[in-house]
A and B are shown apart, each in its own frame.
Chain A
Amino acid sequence: MADVINIQMPLWQLLLLLLIPLAAITIMVVWLRRVAYKHSAPEEKRDWSVPPLADGSGTSLLHCWDVRCKIVTILVCSFAIASLSHLEPALVAIGVSLIILVVARVSFAKVLLRLLAITGFVCMFLVVMPFSVPAHNGDTVLVFNGMDWLGFNLRGLRLAATIAAKAIAIAVLMEPLLSTAPLPVTLHGLSRLGAPEMVGQMVLLSYRYLHVFRHEAWRMSSGMQVRGFRKRTDLATLRAVGNFIGMLFVRSFERTERVFDAMRARGYRGRFPEPAELRLRTRDLLLAAVWLTAGAALIAYDRIAW
């Protein structure tokens, strides 16, 4: 069995090795952020008298797919992607996800925003893993300026890239899952698959009131700022933040009671009305079968070819 291959390099190359990719990623993130905001801004221009999915994009294969089949298939495929252990199949998975994205005709800007949200997490793997993965026989390790303890393991980089590719492939798949049906319909499908109905209702209400809560928190934090509050590392800051969180909690609790009263006053007795009638057709099952076969093929490719 081959030993670990150490390649000696000057220290300045380590800086290049780290700084160039980090700078490239930062520039890309800034650019992607701009593109994403630019394309997600004109909400006001949309015609809100028709359902958001009723325009041209709402007629794709995924929009017409039964939501239960869609949830099961995409979740199973996500687990299949997560189980891949090689970089090449993971890159193929990204390709498949992108094809699905195109077929689903969902907003590319939203996908970018979703990817930006996981950028930090993925970058952390790319930076940390090459330096922290233990060297095995056959690994190639770059050693800078004779500092053996700071070895840059190429297998670690490959492993980090595999994780990153799997994360991107799954994140991209989430957009067709969540954007091709209204959230209440998706949650209704989830409850029809056996998830507790109460969980679906809580997610729906949380999503609705997350915006209200965020706005309330912003106003309260502004109220503190205009009276001179600045975060410091002292007890006074801790006390102020504690009061802030406590008051936010009290206000949220009071709102919860009022919302529940409003729901009861309009006839709520434990169940939300069904947002859509779900019908399972043969073509839904066929599409699920095709997709699951593709997932199985991906696993086979990962296990057999590599």
Chain B
Amino acid sequence: MHEPLRPIQKPTLDASLFSMRRVFYRYPDDIQALSCIDLDIAGGDRIALVGQNGSGKTTLIKQLCGLLLPTAGEVLYKGEQLKGEHLDRNRLEIGLLFQDPDDQLFSHTLLDDTAFGPRHQGLSRQDAEQTARKSLQRVNLLDMAYKAPHNLSFGQKKRAALAGLLAMQPNVLLLDEPTSNLDPHQEEVFLNLLRDFSGTLICISHNLIFLYELCDRAVVLDRGRIQHDYTLRELVSQRQSLREHGLDFSFRLVHTASSCDLAQSKPLDELHRTPTLPDVSEGKSLVFLRDYHYRYPDGTLALHGINLSIQDGERISIVGENGAGKTTLLSCLLGLRQGLGEFHFAGRLMTRRWRKTLWRRVGMVFQDCADQLFCPSVREEITFGLHQLGYSRDESRKRLTQVLAMVCLEGFEERVPLHLSGGERKRLALACVLAMEPKLLILDEPTAGLDPQGEELLLDILCNLDVTLLLVSHDMFFVNKLTRRTLVMHRGRILEDMPTHAFLQDERLGNLNELSYTYRRRSRSAILTMQHEHEHSHLHQHLHTHQHRHGEVEHDHFHEHVHEHTHRFAHIHPEDEKNHDHMPRRYHDHDHPGYEVEDHDHDYPGHENETDDHH
């Protein structure tokens, strides 16, 4: 019985920077994206806009910057409706950071791109260039001012896109998934940049730990409606509420030994601590690389002296900063690229001829699953690989049913992949690969862009797979849960090869590898403190319905009454006090078993003179 739409100290209409009044928005294809949105945002607010994939978050921020106009209702900015001349005048005060930085970096060089906004604000070419330089300096990209955006790394592109907005000195920053696909180091850089921003900030993200560090107010969207509007501390501390909206990321916070059944994995003592030269003569290795190099046609050395042995049934993760060579290594393992050095698969030397048959035994789920979904229906998508393998129609149909059940997509056969949600598409991509029964399954950033519910479901599926697994991820939770051995890559080399639990405890590696997990650890322990759950007994105010008699009349209706009973709930301990007051400070949802038969007092205002017999 959590309280819907319970606002924190809302700004008054006069103090509001933005006011959304009964806003509805329907897309031209008749999808109702927003319904009855009432929201006030004051200057200086730092709001986390959260919700499942498809809940209307991006549509809402596009309303706030005037890219979409409501089909009904109104959006006010500084007291005036955000349209027409008022929109043209004020649009440049509102910066919107897109999820994919390539959408936003449309100019020839970084400097041109960063100066684009200031030029449209009326600055002269010289002044705009000066502002752009300062902005690039802030995001640490001044030394790349004349570089073309397509020659930047993903993290650099993200920062460059932010620089383009900061150069406009906006009052409001709207951020759509600012940390997606960033490594922890880049994520922290981004966090520090945004902390320094003094204006109003509205951020969409599934990364609640990042939001916890950055924002103080949370607006929860569910199917186009605002379900909650309260402090972020309240959001992260209410597991039940998070779960209801598919946002419960708490499963990430509890650090236990890997929960997956890793019985098939090799014991830890067989694993290496440092990369040693693997021995192919044993014939045990599924994958074996010795002194493997890869150089791109432009001369960039992407892999340098890789020695790696993966045994059948092992579950291995590869971690490393963006640009460390992880994806290039995967391309080589898939046979898409051929480097120099020895590469054996299942004991066979991968010559040019054999390399072309690797697809039969190695499957990969790409970081952006849109890259591997191109068919008009889920059925065709999954049977595509099976046809290449020579499966008959009947066998394909049988396999299709099996893998759809495996990834919880039963009944999706005729759906269009393009119209599925992010989590469904990811599971479909996984199904396409699993249908081909690969000996080695490679997952490249499987959690990118997924909401917590999608992540939890994917984790369950992956835990139950019986396959040799190679996971590339910045997500230490998934690394911990799914793998027992970790390879640390840096600048094209494997720096360390060690048990995952040892890697997770090794602070030194984080610094060495330009990965930083410090703030994540700090936030995680803070949230855990808030979310701790134990039994309490205190008075409750309840609404129940049950049959009872008022004199001659027997009927049922809601009664509000107060009584005391014990229950479990997650809550904040003020200042670490153990003996704290558990009087309800807020509504929380919990079971009240046996309320139908429990004696209770019905004397409450409005019913003082009634004598009730309840059944």
Contact = CB atoms under 8 A, between A and B. Distances in A.
A223 B149 contact: no
A228 B385 contact: yes
A305 interface: no
B125 A273 contact: yes
Given A211-B150, A223-B366, A261 B108 contact: no
A99 interface: no
A243 interface: yes
B443 interface: no
Interface stretch (A43-51, A136-144, A145-153, A191-199): A43-51
A183 interface: yes
Contacts of A51: 146
A127 B266 CA distance: 63
Interface string B59-70: 000100101000
B91 interface: yes
B297 A182 contact: no
A276 to B, nearest CB: 8
A258 to B, nearest CB: 4
A263 interface: yes
Nearest to A271: B120
Contacts of B334: 222, 226
Interface string A251-270: 10001001101111111110
A267 B384 contact: no
A277 interface: yes
Contact of A204 (B62, B88, B108, B372): B108
A263 B373 CA distance: 29
B412 interface: no
Given A41-B299, A267-B117, A220 B371 contact: yes
Nearest to A227: B385
A46 B179 CA distance: 29
Contacts of A228: 359-360, 385, 388-389, 436
Contacts of A269: 88, 120
Nearest to B442: A226
Interface residues of B, number: 70
B184 interface: no
A42 interface: yes
Contacts of A229: 384, 388
Interface in A244-303: 244, 246-247, 250-251, 255, 258-259, 261-269, 273-277
Interface string B105-132: 0111100100111011100010010000
Interface in B340-389: 359-360, 362-364, 366, 368, 370-376, 384-385, 387-389
A262 B103 contact: yes
Given A204-B108, A211-B150, A265-B65, A227 B374 contact: no
A229 B373 CA distance: 13
B502 interface: no
B374 A43 contact: no
Nearest to B436: A227
Provide the main secondary structure of the chain A interface. helix
Contacts, number: 160
B359 A261 contact: no
B196 interface: no
A236 B383 CA distance: 12
Q: Taking each of B104, B364, B371, which has the highest tally of chain A beta carbons within 10 Å of its own beta carbon?
A: B371
Contacts of A216: 371
A52 B145 CA distance: 10
Nearest to A41: B299
A266 B164 contact: yes
A261 B300 contact: no
Given A219-B368, A243-B374, A250 B145 contact: no
Contacts of A243: 374-376
Contacts of B376: 243
A58 B149 CA distance: 22
Nearest to A220: B371
B174 to A, nearest CB: 9
A183 B368 CA distance: 32
Contact of B62 (A38, A224, A261): A261
B151 interface: yes
A208 B300 contact: no
B526 interface: no
B143 A48 contact: yes
A27 interface: no
A43 B331 CA distance: 24
Contacts of B148: 208, 211
Given A182-B108, A228-B359, A266 B384 contact: no
A263 B106 contact: yes
B418 interface: yes
Nearest to A247: B374
A224 to B, nearest CB: 7
Contacts of A274: 125
B331 A222 contact: yes
A255 B363 contact: no
A204 B105 CA distance: 12
Given A226-B336, A251-B370, A262 B104 contact: yes
9 contacts: A37-B299, A208-B150, A226-B359, A226-B364, A243-B375, A259-B104, A262-B103, A262-B106, A273-B115
Given A48-B143, A183-B108, A265-B91, 8 more contacts: A208-B107, A208-B108, A212-B150, A219-B368, A223-B372, A227-B388, A262-B106, A264-B67
Q: Which 9 pairs of residues, A with B, have the shortest CB-CB distance? A: A267-B120, A228-B388, A223-B372, A273-B119, A41-B299, A211-B150, A227-B385, A247-B374, A258-B103
Interface of B: 62, 65, 67, 88, 91-92, 94-96, 98, 100, 102-104, 106-109, 112, 115-117, 119-121, 125, 128, 142-151, 164-165, 168, 297-300, 331, 334, 336, 359-360, 362-364, 366, 368, 370-376, 384-385, 387-389, 418, 432-433, 436
